[in-house]
Structure 1
Amino acid sequence: MSINELCYVDQMKKQSLKAQELLKKQSPRFVPPFSIQSLQKNTKVMPYSVFNRNRKLIKKPRRTSFRMHYERGDLPLRLDYFPGGVRILWTLDLNKLNYHLYLPLFFDGLSEAEHPYKTYARQGVRDLINFGRDKIYPVIPQLIVPIKRALNTKNKEVMCVTLKIIQQMVMASDLVGPGLVPFYRQLLPMFNAYKTFEVTCDDKVDYSQKKSCNLSVLVEETLQVLERHGGDDAFINIKYMVPTYESCLLN
């Protein structure tokens, strides 16, 4: 080897030693477990997390548009307290309300499970249905998504209230029942899932049937109301989505 080559080798060794010293001085880099990076120098494997199946996942509730309008003070109603409880008072004449705006907004509030949002939304929906009747039919396409969200919350109280409101809406006008038939594919999958839902309370007493909040009974009653008021094509479409349903008119 020539003198120049020996000098070059010495310089390379010194540089590699300096690099190793710098790596030792640096804090180790954390890498994910079971990866190729764990074989690299100056790395530290992160502890892997153990899944606890008993841990309850806390899901942040969706902020509904109804809550947003309520907090801004855009809703034309107020809560009145009296010795027998509370009631909703409208600040505008219901004849002047735009149903295409307010009815979907109040239906979106059916997903709420906290007071006063749920109180306003549920009473507001009932009042609008009782007063509107035939005004509900043109707004049906805008109501499907809020109803579906409320039924998919898996909150028993919210689901029972929504089913009762569906029955009230269908019986309020002869146009609503047939108008809901094209939307059975969006609404009835939940009915099929909870039609045979049974609550296991062991040796306790279940008062849900007395309080009219038995989910499986409400599902069956709602399907019967949809069949009675849905016209000639209602049963065929219900049977397609809920195969275990038996007609209350044919049998």
Structure 2
Amino acid sequence: MSTLWGKMYDIRAPYNVRGGEISCLRVVRGFSIESWQKDTISDCPPRAGATRPRCPTPTLFRKFYDRGEFPIMIDQNCNGKAILWKVPPEKLDYHHYLPLFFDGLREIEHPYAMFARQGIHDMLVHGCDKVLPVVPQLIRPLREALNTRCPPILKATLHALQQLIVSAPKVGECLVPYYRQLLPVLNIFKNRNLNLGDMIEYGQYKRENIGDLIQETLELMERYGGEDAFINIKYMVPTYESVCLN
């Protein structure tokens, strides 16, 4: 509290001085009728929270894994923990298993995260022609993983999306109609790079920088998406510049 002209005022509140009198300003909502009244000050607008991480919802991958319905197990070897397949990945039903593994991208706990990400890698490597028919079923888990806006989940999802694009012919072109569902979050995080001056950012070496991963993903989408890829990317990410036309 502070004393001025014999009156007590709270020093933490904004004041208005008129004719030797001091009046405390009342904080009101911005763009409201009250903001036009005297002795008022507009409150700062709330943060939009576009980059705020969302809490991931429970995944079907965890439910199926706890039931023991996946033909996988942990292989303890000299190189650490890895996946041991009870059935060769190329013999699996991709319409059933691949969307479930992509749904596991939202997992960040062990061993669910390790199984989901390594399982995606192995199935895309051995899938060949089985991957293309399943692409429409992968859009929903990819969108939900990107919408979490959680950095570890974003990194894993971008790595999986890059591998999906190059896993089989025509997959990149098949993804073009779904750019409106996948690219809004990429547009938000496209410029999330740290300005460290002359210091070294080791995240670039480990391929963990979100801004660089998004740029790599957009370039792969343009290269493998056919002639309509660039115009659709440009519509959703206005700051993207073509690497094929330039």
TM normalised by structure 1 equals: 0.73
Matched, 1:109 2:82: no
- Deviation string 1:133-172 (CA, Å, 9 cap, x unpaired) is 2211111111011011111222212211211111111111
Is the 2:56–2:106 contact (alpha carbons within 8 Å) kept by the matching residues of 1?
no
Tell me which structure has the larger Cα radius of gyration: 1
Q: Distance in 2 between matches of 1:188 and 1:249?
A: 19
Residue number in structure 2 paired with 1:167 = 162
CA distance in 2, matches of 1:215, 1:60: 19
* Aligned counterparts, 1:56-75, within 5 A: 61-75=56-70
Q: Does 1:227 align with 2:222?
A: yes
Q: 1:219 to 1:61 in 2, by over 3 A?
A: closer
Q: Which residue is equivalent to 1:211?
A: 206
Residue of structure 2 aligned with 1:119, choices 111, 114, 122:
114
Equivalents in 1 of 2:106, 2:198: separation in Å?
A: 32
Identity of aligned residues (%): 50
Residue aligned with 1:209, SS: helix
Q: Secondary structure, in 3 states, of the residue corresponding to 2:244? A: coil
1:120 partner amino acid: F
- Structure 1 runs of 4+ aligned residues shifted over 6 Å read 200-204
Alignment gaps of 5+ in structure 2: 1-46
- Tell me the distance in 1 between the aligned counterparts of 2:197 and 2:174: 42
CA contact (8 A) 2:54 2:148 kept: no
2:242 corresponds to which residue?
247
The 3-state SS of whatever aligns with 1:208 is: helix
SS at match of 2:240: coil
Deviation readout 1:24-61 (Å, 9 max, x if unpaired): xxxxxxxxxxxxxxxxxxxxxxxxxxxxx9xxx99764
Counterpart position of 1:131: 126
C-alpha change, 1:249 and 1:205, in structure 2 (3 Å) is: closer
Between Structure 1 and Structure 2, the one with more strand by share is 2
The corresponding residue for 1:158 is 153
How far, CA to CA, are the matches of 1:203 and 1:224 in structure 2?
27
Q: Is residue 2:75 matched to residue 1:80?
A: yes
Cα RMSD of the aligned pairs, angstroms, is: 2.1
Of the three residues 132, 136, 146, the one matched with 1:141 is 136
Is the Cα–Cα contact under 8 Å of residues 53 and 148 in structure 2 kept in the other structure? Answer: no
Kept in 2: contact 1:134–1:175 (CA 8 A): no
